[in-house]
Amino acid sequence: MKKHILFAAGLFPVLAVLGLFSCSTEDAIERVFGSGGQPPVFLGCKAVAQDEVAFRFSLPVKAVSVKFDPEMEVAGVEDGNVVTVTFGKNPGAGERVMADILVEDEKGNTLNVLVPFRTRNDRLPPLMITELRTEYSKPKAEFIEFKTLEAGNLGALRVFIAGNPKKPLVYEFSPVETGSGEFILLHLRTMEEGTADETGSDLDLSGGTDAVAGARDFWVSGTDKLLRKTDAVYFMDQDDRIIDAVLTSEKTGSWWAKEYFAQAAELLRSQGAWQSADGKTPGPEAAVITEAVKTAMTRSVSRREGAPDTNTAADWYVTSTGGISPGKPNKP
């Protein structure tokens, strides 16, 4: 019996390198692990129901042991290419859990996987991105403002910014109960002490220069620049569906200067989150043109209050100087 330990997806870079020197991934695996046959490869996990999480493997496997941190009662396990674990009672929505699962294939090869996931949240509220600040001047940071349209829970809501191609996922929300019509500010840098994520009922909890009383403040750790005047911002649920998005470009032009912006624009188009006049992949001419922002800290990219949501640049405008309004209805 051969035992292989995988921490999250740490095996994949090894296989990628080996693939450069062999005719196939299977050959590379056999050279490393011997002639016992191709071992199972972990492909990912996802909460598929309130009381279920599924682990995907490249081969049929049997679960030898399954543990969770925090500890969760296991009521049942279904083996196969997909190992489905059923919990004894429903966990909270969008809770972060570390799974430790040991599996074995029919040839006796074993694989131990340690991987985090979030429990299923079926109460994610509909929401709209309402304002962006793209500029930075310490201690004032870029931000994304959004507004909930109904009550719900933000757990497992993911925020992506395409201008960070190596790591477009910039934030994932922990479970937070929200009411309808709440303004939520995601500050994209943490520049000062005293800032705090406002996850409870106290919306005046956070300190910090840009914390807004009466709105929910959340803070991305670190000081890296994450948002630019040319960018794509989109929110996704646990099923990789885009809830809302905005596409911006500093300049007009025939096409995107960076391929990852073109890919992001096509993703938005494919899910109906952003549209162009010809129905094709939106180019810069179909984005919100942000040239007027220049370096102004008091100008923002804002959604038109009360206008229908057409998923086009017509829904948006760049405010005049002093028109920024974080945590409040937008100004003309």
For the cut 60, the answer to whether the pLDDT of residue 21 exceeds it is: no
Residue 60 structural domain: 3-118
Determine what percent of the chain is predicted with pLDDT higher than 70.
Answer: 89
Q: Is the same domain home to 91 and 132?
A: no
For the cut 90, the answer to whether the pLDDT of residue 321 exceeds it is: yes
Between the CA atoms of 330, 128, 157 and 93, what dihedral angle is there, to the nearest 10 degrees?
Answer: 100
For the cut 60, the answer to whether the pLDDT of residue 273 exceeds it is: yes
Q: pLDDT digit string (tens) for 167-211? A: 999 999 999 999 999 999 999 999 999 999 999 999 999 999 999
- Distance between CA atoms of residues 27 and 21, nearest Å: 10
Q: pLDDT digit string (tens) for 286-319? A: 999 999 999 999 999 999 999 899 999 999 999 9
- 327 part of a folded domain: no
Q: pLDDT digit string (tens) for 221-252? A: 999 999 999 999 999 999 999 999 999 999 99
Q: Is the same domain home to 158 and 58?
A: no
CATH code at position 273 = 2.60.40.1260
Q: Is the same domain home to 187 and 112?
A: no
Q: pLDDT digit string (tens) for 45-95? A: 999 999 999 999 999 999 999 999 999 999 999 999 999 999 999 999 999
pLDDT of 38 reads 85
Q: Specify whether the CB–CB gap between 305 and 329 falls below 8 A.
A: yes
Q: Is the same domain home to 99 and 205?
A: no
Please provide the average confidence, as pLDDT, over all residues in the chain.
91
Q: Specify whether the CB–CB gap between 53 and 45 falls below 8 A.
A: yes
- 330 part of a folded domain: no
Q: Is the same domain home to 199 and 50?
A: no
Q: Is the same domain home to 60 and 136?
A: no
pLDDT of 34 reads 47
Q: Is the same domain home to 45 and 105?
A: yes
- Sheet strand arrangement including 242-249: 169-172, 158-161, 231-236, 242-249, 288-289
Category of 222 on φ-ψ map: left (φ > 0), alpha (ψ -120 to 50) or beta: left
- 283 part of a folded domain: yes
**Domain boundary residue, one of 90, 118, 146:** 118
- 325 part of a folded domain: no
**Domain boundary residue, one of 118, 149, 184:** 118
Q: Is the same domain home to 148 and 231?
A: yes
Q: Is the same domain home to 108 and 147?
A: no
- Distance between CA atoms of residues 246 and 231, nearest Å: 8
Q: Is the same domain home to 105 and 250?
A: no
Q: pLDDT digit string (tens) for 132-167? A: 999 999 999 999 999 999 999 999 999 999 999 999
Q: Is the same domain home to 86 and 135?
A: no
**Domain boundary residue, one of 91, 118, 145:** 118
- 214 part of a folded domain: yes
pLDDT of 1 reads 53
CATH code at position 100 = 2.60.40.1220
- 331 part of a folded domain: no
- Structural domains of the chain, count: 2
* Of the candidates 133, 151, 130, the residue with the CA atom closest to the CA atom of residue 142: 133
- 286 part of a folded domain: yes
Query: Helices 25-33 & 11-19, crossing angle to 10 degrees?
Result: 110
Confidence at 22, pLDDT banded by 50, 70, 90: very low
Q: Is the same domain home to 279 and 215?
A: yes
- 67 part of a folded domain: yes
